[in-house]
A and B are shown apart, each in its own frame.
Chain A
């Protein structure tokens, strides 16, 4: 973390007027706390470096960073790291003085890791930095890799230092190993990771030791050395850049550091080191734990590479003339932790649902469907709650079937099952949320689809169906309410509760109790149990009629007999010429009509739809399932292929206010009916009152009311509150304006009765 913070800080510092950036980084780093502390530990030492190193923006900053103070003071960690980072970045790139910093320069190294400098930090300061980094960005492995980089870098830096300014004793040893790596890294800058890793591994151990040893030297010699070393440091920075690419196992580094601390302490300022070590350890732990989280950030590594590459080039030049070099360090800033708005934060579920029935967008025998909001992604989902009530045999096998089936399907016109979730002992199927369904859309109070949009919807319906049938799936519940439409006009077939795989190449026996009865084909109504995809085509034809005319074509009363009568009344009674297998239907005799009717489909629909659409519908409404076209054939019909207007996606739906499902349109219809009823009743009442003798009527009503009142208390005490409110509202509705006085008395009395109830039953609606 600190590393990041540092990096950020460093980056910020260089890029931005360091401080602001630094500040930010600090804050971040502070959050990480431990890393910072480790940094601090190192920082003190670094601080000098930093001062020298970052001379750029930096020196002052560095000094200001008061890293020294901070580190010393513990505060240091946050600031320290930043300072360090800054220093590192600043150091390595700008001036040799950085050199010292360069040692520290692990900072730059760190950068290298991420962007080079970062890796350095990690490496030197310890592995801790590397570890930090790792925590931040990379997964553990990455972290390790970084760590290695860092180590390498460190090693390099150390080497460089040692080479340039052998002042650091330990560095020399490192230098040996490091130098090689450096070269390698230089060469491999682009492919730094691998080579560097290997090298690093070796280096790392050395580097770690070196760092430990070096660390002290830097602190002491820092200022002087830094200057002299600067060139070296530059080279380091170069190396760092390359190193960053390589992912070194930080854990190792960290371990080494851990081991190293004592030695470091002795040479260096013990307290500082100790604190860093501790921090490092923590960091490491965090890293290990945190890597996964950081992983996503790692992409930064990608960024780091370019930086590194740049740096290497620059650094190379700097090698020649280090002081002139400028290393651009790119700091990664942690994305701010997303903060959930309080209402979402309060949600007990990942999928926030409005309380009560507000979130219900559909309900049926299967249970209820809720609209949910993923509190993290803010994406809407539809949650289908699997009904467990009355399931004696455990999880309903129908739900299992539906899940299994949906999992095997993937098509743009088939609703996507995202996951299955168990929450507070309830099981939900999580679907993508679509704002409308066809029933709702077609019943929209004031929006109507244009012909081209209708055609597009129809096309998508049959594309989805074609996919299902090629995949050997019978949907068996195609109906307008099961067809969802997104706000971009994309149609998706939903509700696979009745769907099943079917044997395409031979006929099996299935139940005929499928498909909502308005959409049920004649063969199913006549008891056929050996059927195929043609049943879906019939249903889809019914849906197509609805799309085109807004009206269901066969709205029966729910019984098979009535449904057949509806079909007969439009398509005429079937005969064996059209449907040779008619009399083979199991219930043919049972349901045989006692009448004969002509086909009036043309009369009724020819005017309502285009010629091609009519032709298509007529072909799909064949009594004989074998004569109905397949979904693929439907898609090749002139209605879709040639007839104008061509299909067009209904983007306008985006502008439609609210969500329109069957559920909402039903609610709307109920509301309207209720209003109408009330209006009618009021009207009737008014006329009645005027027409009839008031004296006669009033006494009766009065009696009724008193009777009711007499009974009410008992009823209320026995019933739940909800029932009571219902009954009272019911009464209120029944009582008409003329009875206003009675209602009044009722109202005054009810509360009295309600009080004890409330006390008894706290569960109120």
Chain B
């Protein structure tokens, strides 16, 4: 591992191959922590890859950053955290560029920023400033909605893996179509988002700590008594009755006889 070039290469590859799985992020993060003597280099790797890859990979790297900083802090390697704090604006610009090409990533950026703030990797002020910028970009998107999309119909198909858009002129709605994801990438992104969502949901079973936490949670999640509860109650009652009547031949017979006798 002594070769810094090799370390760079390998980390770059890992960043490119990030996906929605936790293991891929953990692998890259552990690699970076293990080679922290080149922390500066590896950090620049992250920025570089953020600006060079498609929007899917950028989103994946964004999610990775949260994971990575978590791990770095827990191992006491604050240099990574500090570098990230310094360059966070650049990261956000790369993941959700203001030309509209990264509109689909705005949501990702928001989510990760909030998480970073809640873990005190970023201060509140920085986050709110970034939020302001994002809101602008979002607003732009909303105007777009009102217009029902740009007329350039087929363009979005062919602009897959475009180089970073930093140098491109800001997106004008009437101008060139932004380098949107192609179909394949859209589908990949959908799958990755679903995967992430699934992992998110894995936590819903966790019981919060505290004396009455579980009870409170149940109480919170239980619906009010509704008509469906009565429907269910009636069904259960009928079922119970039927079972009771058929539970034993005598009863069955008695029931039958009763009918005849009646």
Residues of A within 8 A of B (CB): 139, 141-142, 292, 295-296, 298-299, 301-302, 408, 410, 470-472, 503-506, 508-509, 511-513, 527, 529, 559-561, 573, 575-576, 582-583, 586-596
Q: Considering the chains assembled together, what is the distance between the CA atoms of A575 and B200 in angstroms?
A: 30
- Can you name the residue of chain B whose Cβ is closest to the Cβ of A509? B201
Instruction: Output the least CB separation between A484 and chain B (Å).
Output: 21
Q: Which residues does chain A contribute within 8 Å of B181, judged by CB atoms?
A: 590
Q: Considering the chains assembled together, what is the distance between the CA atoms of A533 and B183 in angstroms?
A: 29
Q: B250 contacts the other chain (Cβ, under 8 Å)?
A: yes
Whether B153 lies near A559 (C-beta < 8 A) is: no
Q: B227 contacts the other chain (Cβ, under 8 Å)?
A: yes
Q: Considering the chains assembled together, what is the distance between the CA atoms of A587 and B148 in angstroms?
A: 15
Instruction: Output the least CB separation between A574 and chain B (Å).
Output: 8
Q: Considering the chains assembled together, what is the distance between the CA atoms of A509 and B186 in angstroms?
A: 22
Whether A589 lies near B103 (C-beta < 8 A) is: yes
Whether B232 lies near A408 (C-beta < 8 A) is: yes
Q: Considering the chains assembled together, what is the distance between the CA atoms of A527 and B145 in angstroms?
A: 17
Whether A582 lies near B232 (C-beta < 8 A) is: no
Q: Which residues does chain A contribute within 8 Å of B221, judged by CB atoms?
A: 503, 506, 508
Q: B152 contacts the other chain (Cβ, under 8 Å)?
A: yes
CB-CB under 8 A for A296 and B249, given A471-B232, A511-B194, A586-B193: yes
Q: Considering the chains assembled together, what is the distance between the CA atoms of A70 and B235 in angstroms?
A: 58
Q: Which residues does chain B contribute within 8 Å of A506, judged by CB atoms?
A: 221, 223
Whether A139 lies near B250 (C-beta < 8 A) is: yes
Q: Considering the chains assembled together, what is the distance between the CA atoms of A139 and B239 in angstroms?
A: 25
Q: Which residues does chain A contribute within 8 Å of B151, judged by CB atoms?
A: 594-596
Q: List 10 contacting pairs A-B, 8 Å CB cutoff, sorted by A.
A: A141-B250, A509-B204, A511-B194, A511-B198, A559-B187, A576-B142, A589-B103, A592-B145, A594-B180, A595-B149
Q: B33 contacts the other chain (Cβ, under 8 Å)?
A: no
Whether B106 lies near A589 (C-beta < 8 A) is: yes
Q: B168 contacts the other chain (Cβ, under 8 Å)?
A: no
Beyond the given A141-B250, A590-B189, could you list 15 further A-B residue pairs with CB under 8 A, ordered by the A residue number? Answer: A298-B249, A299-B257, A301-B253, A408-B232, A470-B228, A505-B223, A505-B226, A506-B223, A509-B204, A586-B193, A589-B103, A592-B103, A592-B145, A594-B156, A596-B151
Q: Which residues does chain B contribute within 8 Å of A299, judged by CB atoms?
A: 253, 256-257
Q: B224 contacts the other chain (Cβ, under 8 Å)?
A: yes
Interface size of B by CB at 8 A reads 51
Give the A-B pair count, Cβ closer than 8 A. Answer: 120
Q: Considering the chains assembled together, what is the distance between the CA atoms of A748 and B144 in angstroms?
A: 70
- Can you name the residue of chain B whose Cβ is closest to the Cβ of A470? B228
- Can you name the residue of chain B whose Cβ is closest to the Cβ of A582? B145
Q: Which residues does chain B contribute within 8 Å of A593, judged by CB atoms?
A: 148-149
Q: B155 contacts the other chain (Cβ, under 8 Å)?
A: yes
Whether B231 lies near A471 (C-beta < 8 A) is: yes
Whether A575 lies near B260 (C-beta < 8 A) is: no
CB-CB under 8 A for A590 and B228, given A296-B249, A298-B249: no
Encoded as 1 (CB less than 8 Å from any A CB) or 0, chain B from 136 to 156 comes to: 000001101111111111111
Whether B228 lies near A472 (C-beta < 8 A) is: yes
Q: Which residues does chain A contribute within 8 Å of B22, judged by CB atoms?
A: none
Q: B190 contacts the other chain (Cβ, under 8 Å)?
A: yes
- Can you name the residue of chain B whose Cβ is closest to the Cβ of A409? B235
Whether A576 lies near B146 (C-beta < 8 A) is: yes
Whether A573 lies near B149 (C-beta < 8 A) is: yes
Q: Which residues does chain B contribute within 8 Å of A582, judged by CB atoms?
A: 145
Q: B197 contacts the other chain (Cβ, under 8 Å)?
A: yes
Q: Which residues does chain A contribute within 8 Å of B146, judged by CB atoms?
A: 575-576
Q: B107 contacts the other chain (Cβ, under 8 Å)?
A: yes
Q: B104 contacts the other chain (Cβ, under 8 Å)?
A: yes
Instruction: Output the least CB separation between B111 and chain A (Å).
Output: 10
CB-CB under 8 A for A410 and B235, given A470-B227, A511-B197: yes
Q: Which residues does chain A contribute within 8 Å of B200, judged by CB atoms?
A: 509
- Can you name the residue of chain A whose Cβ is closest to the Cβ of B154? A594
Q: B15 contacts the other chain (Cβ, under 8 Å)?
A: no
Q: Which residues does chain B contribute within 8 Å of A589, judged by CB atoms?
A: 103-104, 106-107, 141
Whether A561 lies near B232 (C-beta < 8 A) is: no
Whether A573 lies near B190 (C-beta < 8 A) is: no
Q: Considering the chains assembled together, what is the distance between the CA atoms of A141 and B249 in angstroms?
A: 10
Q: B177 contacts the other chain (Cβ, under 8 Å)?
A: yes
Whether A587 lies near B197 (C-beta < 8 A) is: no
Interface residues in B224-262 (C-beta closer than 8 Å to A): 224, 226-228, 231-232, 235, 239, 249-250, 252-253, 256-257, 260
